[in-house]
Chain A
Amino acid sequence: MLSQKFLKVWFAGELDEKAVEHLKRKLAEALARRERRILIRFYLDKGSHETYYEALRNILLSSVALSIVVEERPAYELKRDLERASGEEILLVLGRGTIRPSRSAGLVVEEVEESCLRASPT
Chain B
Amino acid sequence: MSQEDGGSDPSFEDRLKTARSKQGLDAPPKQPLNEQGALSGSPWGIGARVGVELVSALVVAVAIGYGLDRIFHTTPILTAVFVPLGGAAGVANLWRLFAPKS
**A and B part of one assembly:** no
